[in-house]
Amino acid sequence: MTMSILEIGGVKATALADQFKTPLYVYDQQHIEQTLATFVDRFKSTQFSTQIIYASKAFQAIYLLNLVAEYGLGLDVVTGGELFVATQSNMPRNRIYFHGNNKSLEELDLAFKWGVQHIICDNVMELEVIGQLAQKYQQEMNIMLRLNVGIEAHTHEYIITSHIDSKFGFAWESEECRKCLDLLANNPYLKLEGIHSHIGSQIFDLTAWYASIDKLVTYLKAFNEPLVLNIGGGFGIQYTAADQPLDLGESLTSLISYVEKALAEQQVTISKLMIEPGRSLVGNAGSTLYTVGYQKQTPEKLYYFVDGGMSDNLRPSLYQAKYACDIANRMDAPKTEKVTVAGKCCESGDILIEACLLPVASQGDLLVTYATGAYGYSMSNQYNKNVTPAVVFVKDGIAHEVIRRQTFEDLLHYEVTEKKKRGFKNDV
């Protein structure tokens, strides 16, 4: 009997696994392109310009950044490393926005040297440093203030970013905000570009977003000229059948309409409206392929062990994220087994999926977990010296390797051996 094999972008999962080994991150490029087109088509207004900023923390690779740039998006980076990779892509420097709550002096200095024109300021100490660098280089910098509006999205505690004691941003009414406005007013090289807020991730209800917009628009009344309004990101995606994501196109239209209405009610104008999707652009486009290894029956659980785990998908261990899966080389086999899918890392918490229904599997079968396109590769690690998997983009029956699989030799790349040893002598 011939079993049905999962295809991604017109390529069989078994062929991908044979060519690139497992674990393997696989992206359906057409899915990403369709999502990009939806954002571009629906995030528009006749009353103000709009800009979509891809939050690269979800997944960053030069191949993807080139695709994002091609669709006219900007880019959100949060570290010097993300900034460096961005500068190696086709993303125009004037569409890069530098985020982060603790940008180092070195990172901010690089932002000036590498032609970044937009920095989202998270606190007054940071703005003081930016001001000093701007004067040093006699170079203007556009500043967006990250405001904490005190509105919480109904998501996991660790991905709520705008409650009153969040590490991100500051309140409009705070002394911190007043000091930032004073610094901006007194430094000729710093220009207040706009205000920004991000209330959380994996959002399935626009109500909190609307409330955030209401507050932000009220704050804009304090300024004499139109500014940029950046409403952050946060659209949820479907990880399991329990998730009910919003219709993306309808939600984008609703947000535009709500901003237009709020501006009219407050008699405020803006120069531009920005949104920062990350997960919703790439999450459902990505899957991870694993090879099933040993199995074990305990008194209460049947384990299927796979050749990856928390080293390639940290989210289940980090904040109990849920995923769906299948046996990719036998998609039509009856699901008769209640299984816990566990990784190979030396941690009891290395569990990818609890209590899922799967077919009876054999060693060597291929298991796929869905919706790993966001925060899979970007959160990957080398715990237990696991090598980082390859990343492939697939479209129209062609698989394109965009990041190669690490080798064991790569694990030694930064080791300081006797031949490479360096140091200093403490003469004190």
Q: Which residues are catalytic?
A: 346
Residue 266 CB-density burial (10 A; 0-12 exposed, 13-18 middle, 19+ buried): middle
Q: Report the relative pairing of strands 270-275 and 351-358 from DSSP bridges.
A: unpaired
Task: Give which of 100, 88, 80, 59 is closest to 277, Cα–Cα.
Answer: 59
Round to whole Å and give the CA distance between 140 and 285. Answer: 38
Number of H helices, E strands in the chain: 11, 19
Q: Give the residue among 330, 326, 329 at the shortest CA–CA distance from 304.
A: 326
For residue 90, the one-letter residue type is N
Residues 6 or more apart whose CB falls under 8 angstroms from that of 367 comprise 289, 290, 291, 292, 304, 306, 325, 326, 327, 328, 341, 358, 361
Contact call for residues 99 and 86 (beta carbons, < 8 A)? no
Q: What is the CA radius of gyration of the chain?
A: 23
- Cβ partners under 8 Å of residue 76, min gap 6: 53, 54, 55, 56, 57, 97, 99, 276, 278
Strands (E), 197-348: 227-230, 270-275, 286-297, 302-306, 325-327, 337-342
DSSP string, 64-107: HHHHHHHTT-EEEE-SHHHHHHHHTSS--GGGEEE--SS--HHH
Query: By C-alpha distance, which of 246, 221, 164 is closest to 197?
Result: 164
Q: How many residues does this entry show for the chain? A: 428
Alpha carbon distance 150, 211 (integer Å): 10
Do 200 and 234 meet the contact criterion of CB atoms below 8 Å apart?
A: yes
With 0-12 / 13-18 / 19 or more C-beta atoms within 10 angstroms meaning exposed / middle / buried, residue 179 is: middle
CA distance 216 to 210: 10
Per-residue burial over 12-36, b = 16 or more CB atoms within 10 Å of its CB, e = otherwise: bbbebbeebebbbbbbbbebbeebb
Whether 286 contacts 369, CB under 8 Å: no
